[in-house]
A = this chain, B = another copy of it.
Amino acid sequence: MTDATTPPTAIRPDTTWIDAQIGYLLRRASATMAADYAKHGDALRPVLVSMLSVIDANPGIGQTELGTSLGIQRPNVAPLVADLVGRELVERRRSTTDARRLELHCTPRGIEALARGRSAIEAHEARVTAALSDAERSVLHDLLTRIVER
């Protein structure tokens, strides 16, 4: 029972249990980051920047390998690559040794877009983790990496 003039949930609900769950905090932290990225700038979506960065570092990579390296399933890679191709940031070239493969390469415009995307993401990460020291950012990176299955 609570004081009749003070409803039980008037100030702030009790969220003790759920606030202790790592999975829940991961979802909330991801949402915080997505909101920050959407709020600032008009750069490429993070997933497209991540694809550009892997294609740039691995010229000629195939779409299946690209998806595997980023944790994106093959059927979902196709429209994302099509988006990059439509923006003329990436070229698909049919492999001469295996006609099934499409080898991906960044165009000059793609290289430029990647540089801008990286800057946007790095500034965004700095904003969201502004409350953390460099050492804490490093620890967070290590702990998250050890959760991600490989």
Contacts and interface: CB of A to CB of B under 8 A. Distances in A.
Interface of A: 7-9, 12-33, 35, 37, 46, 50, 53-54, 57-62, 65-66, 69-71, 118, 121, 124-125, 128-129, 131-132, 136-137, 139-141, 143-149
A24 B9 contact: no
A125 B26 CA distance: 12
Given A13-B58, A13-B65, A70-B15, A22 B141 contact: yes
Given A14-B58, A15-B57, A23 B128 contact: yes
| Interface pairs A-B: 3 shortest CB-CB | A25-B144, A14-B57, A28-B148
A36 to B, nearest CB: 8
29 contacts: A8-B58, A8-B61, A9-B60, A9-B61, A9-B62, A13-B54, A13-B65, A13-B66, A13-B69, A16-B57, A18-B50, A18-B54, A19-B145, A20-B141, A21-B121, A22-B33, A23-B46, A24-B46, A25-B141, A25-B144, A26-B29, A26-B30, A28-B144, A28-B148, A32-B147, A33-B147, A132-B146, A139-B143, A140-B144
Nearest to A128: B147
